[in-house]
Structure 1
């Protein structure tokens, strides 16, 4: 892997940093209001938004990604438009039409959250069936976030697969579990592929899942992998098809995901970069939201008035700035 360049000093990082709170239209991964930091550097804007439950060590990659974007810019693209899937959170089936209505125009693919704590397989099946009824021709994929064990995953995917699934994202929590699910699906003749997400971005070795033959494709996110350039290297070395996704980012973070998707030599799958549609507010006047199942590659420059209006209270701002300083110190120690 390429060695990361040194990070700017904290004073430079924080000179033009804005901590904002973005209200959600619907709860997503337990979040009703998304707090994040957008910061400006000599090459543009970057985003630092590791979720609060993530430790400082895990957040180092997120800071490197923000610096990669704002201080070094993005690699040259090979495409200017990126196909994007709609995203359906773990809502009751009756709410599916309202969620999908927020994605403008044609929807080519949908990612559906499943295995939510407090719900059961009947809830998941009803949600998937509701999406399929509305979009009979769309490609569907489900995301379990490692919420099933191997046996549960096989039962669930046999049932959900009746609605026509392209793949299941992280159906089990471990690399060994993914491999067992993949083998079990093949043995049962269930034509659902296995995609690795957490087993790429949360493992010390992001290539371990590929070496183990545990997945058919990778889900890659710029922020938790340390930036666009490092994510490109991981995909190249893994030798597997990739789906680019986001981490519930503002349009600034989505822009990094777009840069990653635009620079990949091949892009066989619609990307999970449409989550700004799940937010009531954004830092851009014209947010990066998909239209007719695509996002156009364009710059993401926050509006100063929106940054001011969406700014968090002073104590929350201080919490985030202190976090950046701690993470910066850890990054320096690791280097």
Structure 2
């Protein structure tokens, strides 16, 4: 991705980051993205705390954008907000339908719900049951589904045809490729099912994050601060794409959620509830007052880690060493050394 972040040209010395680096491991309430523990490396700079938490399978080049975002938070701070409260959706992982009420209960009152679908090892019937259970619990909520590129084009058209019976706000990344998204969008409209298509991976994993918009392959973008290289870079991408945006998390601690809230607060328009309520999926956090939804929204406020919580959730020594080694490599990647 060209110009990953304004911070990339002025990366602080590695020693300054290492001085305050803390590695945490937070247990998940339910398996999400195939993990049961969420690990992240946190560090403090002159502007506050940053979070570096690319998932383990990401290479150093892709992870460098996550580090740029963390440095932006810790060294530059965030742009001026235009709103001080951010509407958020609940997130339902690929759980069985009978667990849906318990998952939703942890989010409190919400007006929108994102439901994970197309989970490996599950069937379309499982997705239908899960989404139907959400609709049963929340008759008036906006429901969006996220396939993480798990279907092919015919499978996506079939699945969205069935799932749209409950009423869908939009479908996020139903297929992996930009060309596939465009074809799904075309077929749905030809079939009289104008389900909106949201692009996630086709924004944050592409060298050109705006290509999906130019290809007419999406109706809206899902943007995440860390994978895009920071709040300022994400704002540039949204402006260039000219499409509505939903701000989502990367399964962050409250430190990372704070960056997501900063992006949502700085966007000129925010037509959709954001996927920033995911601290509810963790069994612990690094701040005393986690950034979690209250009556369907999260107020904009700072999130500074608590020393006792950093100790309580400190990662085992071997995992700490793994993250510090990764930090060294990615810092070298970002700074061009």
What range describes the TM-score normalised by the shorter chain of this pair? over 0.9
1:5 shift after superposition: 3.3
1:191 shift after superposition: 2.8
- Number of matched pairs: 333
Say whether residues 1:82 and 2:86 are aligned partners: yes
Instruction: Please give the per-residue CA displacement for 1:99-118, whole angstroms capped at 9, x wherever unaligned.
Output: 001012x2110000000000
Structure 2 counterpart of 1:261: 264
Instruction: Please give the per-residue CA displacement for 1:234-263, whole angstroms capped at 9, x wherever unaligned.
Output: 000000000000000000000000000000
1:42 shift after superposition: 0.4
Partners in 2 of 1:222 and 1:215 — Cα distance? 19
Say whether residues 1:65 and 2:74 are aligned partners: no
Partners in 1 of 2:18 and 2:76 — Cα distance? 17
* Residue number among 8, 13, 16 corresponding to 1:12 in the alignment: 16
* Residue number among 112, 122, 134 corresponding to 2:115 in the alignment: 112
* Residue number among 244, 247, 271 corresponding to 1:244 in the alignment: 247
1:208 shift after superposition: 0.6
User: 3-state DSSP class of the match of 2:226?
Assistant: coil
Q: Specify every segment of 5 or more residues in structure 2 that has no aligned partner in the other structure, as ranges.
A: none
User: 3-state DSSP class of the match of 1:168?
Assistant: strand
User: 3-state DSSP class of the match of 2:125?
Assistant: helix
1:331 shift after superposition: 1.3
Say whether residues 1:317 and 2:323 are aligned partners: no
* Residue number among 324, 329, 334 corresponding to 2:332 in the alignment: 329
Structure 2 counterpart of 1:151: 154
Alignment root-mean-square deviation, CA = 0.9
1:14 shift after superposition: 1.1
Say whether residues 1:27 and 2:27 are aligned partners: no
Structure 1 residue runs of 4 or more that deviate by more than 2 Å after TM superposition: 1-5
Instruction: Please give the per-residue CA displacement for 1:91-140, whole angstroms capped at 9, x wherever unaligned.
Output: 00000000001012x21100000000000100000000000000000000
Say whether residues 1:102 and 2:137 are aligned partners: no
